[in-house]
Amino acid sequence: MLPYLYQFYPGWVRLTSMETKYRLVAVLAIGSTSIRLLVAEIAPQGQWQVLDKAGKPVTLGRDVFTSGQVSRESLLECLSVLQHFKELLTGWGILDRDVHVLATSALRAARNRDVFVDRVRLATGFRIAIVEGIEENRLIYLAVRFALKQDLPQFWQDNTMIIDIGGGATEIMLLARGKMAAAHSLRLGTLIIEQQSRLAGGSAWAQRYLQESIRHTAEFISAEMNMARINTFVGVGSDTRIAAALIGTEVNEHCRIIPREAFMAFVQQVQQYSIETCVQKLHIPYAEAEGFVPGLLVYRQFLEQTLASQVVVPDVSLREGLLIDLALGVDPELQEEFFSQIIASAANLGRKYHYDEAHNRHVANLCLFLFDTLSPEHGMNRRERMMLEVAALLHDIGMFIRGESHHKHGQYIVVNSEIFGLRRDELEIIANVIRYHRGSPPSEEDIHYIALQREDRNLVLKMASILRVADALDRGHAQQVSLLKVERKSETLVLHTEGNRDLSLELIGLVEKADLFQDVFGYTVLLG
């Protein structure tokens, strides 16, 4: 550790003793059109302050979305920018362990991304994390939550769309009265629109392409939330930030708003501007001007699908989201809020496929009771508890396709869906738990199960065994069983229930489905 932290302000330097345990961190975001740096100071209590920002344009996305890979020229260009930032961070005295480097849609799509990541590590020491679209959504949500929570309470009360349009992807989140309804990452970005426009020969075709793409997207989204009922529209991204700086009204230091009519009129005014005209008239850098008009056109198309009276523009990005994540760490209150948003997103996916909500929620509650009671036996953590709850909520989702083999259909639906806050590897685990909530136990012949890491296969076994017991306790889908306590008797687990009801169906269910639980935990399960 360094003896002092150096904080650079215009014209002077202040020294802060390390006794205060402040730390400097840096966040680098490698995007489709630029590489951006944020340097911040984090206090022990989780407060943070941005000290410096920088950005350099790159042609990474233009390469990838044209040829499918990063060219040698783009690689060298990115290395030059990153080496420059490395020197800057050395001047700040920031240690390598406190430098966090993210890459988004361009590198996600590049065939030679592993080569790129390795070259950067060898040349700079930076270790790049390529974030999935759904993880990008989570970090954007954190940043938006920070910017809006205090001054725009309707964000937590209305039906809200959060949309972030980048060079290679569009990230969308839908909240129903503050609860996450859906999150999607779409392959629709300003560079892709510009590329399609050039191929087709003009902006008129680009507008038609946009209208068709967004119409189909809106139809897809409306299955989860009627877009005509959305009344808060949050535009995250450099294009809306530029527009808000020109025509918006400040709400707080982190947020501006643009009235709907003013936004529509502004887009109408600039949509015929060339890149050069945007630079000259709007005084924005050339790199920002390239995707400015296409980006605003996408925002306008989505805004037209809603009833929102204004565009809310938080002055935050993916970088601030990661900074908040670093500053708060494992904050119990934020963690619980996040878990509730994940559960809300999973429940909305279930509604999309017309699941039996009463049965699935009851089974989920039984799972959580067993999870909490059997904590010494299974050793799973709080996040894995949430994953079990998601699996229980969606265990019968495959009934939408067909009752027979619905566990396999459910696995297919979940692994090919997006649930806010869940990484791809977590979805794979949950999908496998759903696959084994009935039928034969896992075997080495199942490639989806064998493809998991050993630790993840153990999680599947534990979660699936608990889910099978819970599902057996509601075999009649009548929600008759309420568990009071679990009694351990040598090699037997006795489940004591409330009331004095006929539980013959549940007893049959336990005989059929408690075998995996006995294999995993060594207990025979009985109803007391």
Tell me, what's the pLDDT at 152? Answer: 76
Of 190-199, 265-274, 280-289, 437-446, the poorest mean pLDDT is in: 190-199
| Residue 381 pLDDT level (bands cut at 50, 70, 90) | very high
Q: Tell me which residue of 296, 326, 331, 293 sits closest to 311, measured CA to CA.
A: 296
Is pLDDT of 19 > 50?
no
Extents of the domains making up the chain:
4-130, 134-318, 330-480
The HSE-up count of residue 242 (CA atoms within 13 Å, CB side) is: 23
51-89 pLDDT, tens per residue?
A: 999 999 998 988 898 899 999 999 999 999 999 999 999
Whether the CB-CB separation of 190 and 295 falls below 8 Å is answered with yes
3-class secondary structure, 296 = helix
| Cα–Cα distance measured from residue 477 to residue 444, given in angstroms and rounded to the nearest whole number | 32
> For the segment 305-347, what is each residue's pLDDT rounded down to a tens digit?
899 999 999 999 999 999 988 887 767 887 888 899 999 999 9
pTM recorded for the entire structure: 0.82
| Residue among 49, 69, 51 at smallest CA distance from 59 | 69
Residue 13 is predicted with a pLDDT of 31
For 330-480, which CATH superfamily applies? Answer: Hypothetical protein af1432 (1.10.3210.10)
Does the pLDDT value for residue 12 go beyond 50? no
Backbone angles phi, psi at 55, to 5 degrees: -155, 145
Contact status, residue 429 vs residue 484, Cβ threshold 8 Å: no
DSSP type of residue 443: -
If you search the block for the tokens 């060219």, which residue do you land on? Answer: 71
As a whole number of angstroms, the distance between CA 413 and CA 398 comes to 7
- Per-residue pLDDT at 10: 32
Return the CA Rg of the chain. 26
Q: Do domains 4-130 and 330-480 have the same CATH topology?
A: no
How far, in Å, CA of 248 to CA of 338, rounded? 30
Specify whether domain 134-318 bears CATH 3.30.420.150.
Answer: yes
Structure tokens at 188: 């629709």
Burial of 379 (0-12, 13-18, 19+ CB in 10 A): exposed
CA separation for the pair 431, 346 (Å, rounded): 12
pLDDT score at 6: 31
Report helix, strand or coil for 188: coil
> What value does the mean pLDDT of the chain take?
88
Average pLDDT over residues 80-109: 93
Q: Which two tokens stand for residue 160?
A: 């809200």
Q: Which residue has the higher pLDDT, 444 or 455?
A: 455
Rounded average pLDDT over 205-233: 78
For position 196, what pLDDT does the model report? 67
> How far is it, in rounded angstroms, from Cα 510 to Cα 495?
11
Q: Which CATH superfamily is domain 4-130 in?
A: ATPase, nucleotide binding domain (3.30.420.40)
For residue 236, pLDDT over 70 is answered with yes
* pLDDT of 497 over the 60 cut: yes
pLDDT tens for each residue of 405-416: 999 999 999 999
Output the pLDDT for position 296.
Answer: 93
pLDDT of 356 > 50? The answer is yes
| pLDDT surpassing 70 at residue 2 | no
